[in-house]
Amino acid sequence: MMADHDRTMRLLKTARGQIDGIMRMVEEDRYCIDISTQLMATQSLLARVNADVLKAHIEHCVRKAADSGSPLEKEQKLQEIEKVIDKLAK
């Protein structure tokens, strides 16, 4: 993976900390809206990480396939991106 490894790991550790906090909130029977707010913040953070990883994939792997001259490799990378977009749209 060519994404900024340190940034990705830092954000994922932050998300893990947020999830741990949410679990504590549930265990403590905290106010539902507060829990929901924290869940949305964590989802947003994970969406940012995913966007970074996908951008890195496009910048490096897809670009490499495009530069390779291999029609098969190009098609495979395009299909990968299409599948991810379909999943994101659900």
- Check: CB of residue 48 under 8 Å from CB of residue 11: yes
CATH of the domain at 70: 1.20.58.1000
Please give the C-alpha separations between residue 3 and each of 13, 18, 29, 37, in angstroms, as whole numbers.
Answer: 16, 22, 38, 28
Domain total of the chain: 1
Instruction: Return the pLDDT at 3.
Output: 61
Give the domain range for residue 28: 5-89
- Tens-digit pLDDT profile for residues 24-49: 999 999 999 999 999 999 999 999 99
Q: Exposed (0-12), middle (13-18) or buried (19+): which is 77, by Cβ within 10 Å?
A: buried
State how far the Cα of 51 lies from the Cα of 60, in Å rounded to an integer: 14
Extract the residue ranges of the chain whose pLDDT is less than 50.
none
Q: What's the whole-model pTM score?
A: 0.83
